[in-house]
Amino acid sequence: MINFCQFGAGRIGAIHAGNFVDPDRAAAERLAARYGAKIGSQAEALADAAVDAVVIASSTDTHADLIEAAARAGKAVFCEKPLDLDRRRAEACVAVARECGVPMMVAFNRRFDPHFAKLEREIRAGRIGRAELVTIKSYDPAPPSIAFVRRSGGLFRDMVIHDLDMACWLLAEEPVEIFARGSVLVDPAIGEAGDFDTAVASLRMPSGALCQIAGTRRAVYGYDQRIEVLGERGPWGRYPQHDPPQQPQRLKCGNGVKGRRNSAGPTAKHSLVTLSIFSIRSTLSANAGAASIASRGFRCPSVPTRCLKCGNRGQPTDLGYSCSD
């Protein structure tokens, strides 16, 4: 058995469950009572030899410090995105994890959805030939609290970062140019907090492939994630399963490959979070090496930041080949 402790008992922390540690003791007590977990201070949790790994689900501004503290205590780390709003600070905490030799993972849970994972494998196998166009829809069922909006880093760095990761992961390359626009259509308070609630982004990759992302904080019918990749041999679409299961509509593609479309239920993202937790359990059980499952989210927080700046200015941003510049 692998024992986890958790930092954070807020919006995403309410989904993760285990042993809970949180700066907001009242929130931690409520969540711990629900799941039968125990509460302790940061120092107590990290000094506990029975704790193998930490789940960091607290506010963004606490992530980097907690990662470093956990790594120095010899704990494996599963951290919500983004690592930090500053690229250099994010890189610094990754370096500490490597130096300490602990496994480390960012919570890009969509990589572990069975449909999206199969889509990635089919692209690698050449089923659609050269990928030319990627279309991603990312709709949350309801906006978060304004308190969360103020501390999250904003729509691009908190939510659309998942879609940027998917685009780079599926195409196996990183954008050289981004154009993004945002609007406030759902809640004026989100705009007053300095953020968008609705956005689009267009990416151009080194190969010339294009990606279009559309995201919103509110889809009244539930959580909805869709991806279609068009290649020289035809398209391949993948739409994740959810609870409760629904009968999918079959979509026949030009090359005979079939995808599935489901109208997403509100608990879909919860199941994907569970899948990503299982992945770090597997990594720990296999005794994987230092920072072995650290992903693009650790290396490239500058991409969603560029989207944010572009969304404010309304002008395309040339990234150069590497988003780490």
- Selected residue with higher pLDDT from 178 and 278: 178
Instruction: Read off the tokens for 143.
Output: 């906006």
Tokens 């689900």 belong to residue: 57
10-24, 44-58, 125-139, 277-291: which is most confident: 125-139
CB atoms closer than 10 angstroms to residue 31: 22
Q: 208 to each of 70, 163, 204, 248, how far by Cα in Å?
A: 41, 18, 6, 33
Instruction: Read off the tokens for 129.
Output: 């030939």
Q: Give the distance between the most distant pair of CA atoms in the chain.
A: 58
Give the pairing type, strands 4-7 and 19-21: parallel
Q: What is the mean pLDDT of residues 206-223?
A: 94
* E-only strand ranges, the chain: 4-7, 19-21, 53-56, 76-79, 104-106, 131-139, 177-183, 198-204, 210-216, 224-231, 234-238, 249-252, 258-261, 317-318
For residues 12 and 61, is the Cβ–Cβ distance under 8 A? no
Domains located in the chain, CATH noted = 4-102 (3.40.50.720), 110-268+301-318 (3.30.360.10)
Backbone angles phi and psi of 214, in degrees to 5: -125, 130
Instruction: Read off the tokens for 175.
Output: 């954008």
Residues in contact with 114: Cβ distance below 8 Å, sequence separation at least 6, in sequence order = 240, 241
Q: What is the mean pLDDT of residues 216-231?
A: 91
| Average pLDDT score over the chain | 75
2 pLDDT tier (thresholds 50, 70, 90) = low
Residue 323 forms beta bridges with which residues? Answer: none
Residue 80 predicted with pLDDT over 90: no
The model's pLDDT over 154-192, given as tens digits with 9 standing for 90+, comes to 899 888 988 998 999 999 998 988 888 999 999 999 999
Residue 249 forms beta bridges with which residues? Answer: 261
How many whole angstroms separate alpha carbon 10 and alpha carbon 7?
10
Residue 78 predicted with pLDDT over 50: yes
Spell 294-307 as b/e; 16+ CB within 10 A means b: bbbbbbbbbbbbbb
Residue 76 forms beta bridges with which residues? Answer: 53
Q: What is the mean pLDDT of residues 29-54?
A: 77
Classify residue 252 as exposed, middle or buried by CB count within 10 Å of its CB (0-12, 13-18, 19+).
Answer: exposed
Spell 187-215 as b/e; 16+ CB within 10 A means b: beebbebebbbbbbbbbbbeeebbbebbb
Residues in contact with 2: Cβ distance below 8 Å, sequence separation at least 6, in sequence order = 52, 53, 281, 284, 285
Sheet of 4-7, strand order: 19-21, 4-7, 53-56, 76-79, 104-106
How many whole angstroms separate alpha carbon 176 and alpha carbon 318?
6
Task: Tell me what percent of the residues of the chain surpass a pLDDT of 70.
Answer: 63
Tokens 């003791």 belong to residue: 25
Q: Rounded to an integer, what is the distance from CA 213 to the centroid of its chain?
A: 15
Residue 18 predicted with pLDDT over 60: no
The model's pLDDT over 233-248, given as tens digits with 9 standing for 90+, comes to 988 875 554 433 333 3
The model's pLDDT over 122-151, given as tens digits with 9 standing for 90+, comes to 999 999 999 999 999 999 999 999 988 988
156-160, 216-220, 262-266: which is most confident: 216-220
Least confident span in 35-44, 93-102, 154-163, 234-243: 234-243
Q: What is the mean pLDDT of residues 201-209?
A: 94
How many whole angstroms separate alpha carbon 29 and alpha carbon 245?
33
Residue 321 predicted with pLDDT over 70: no
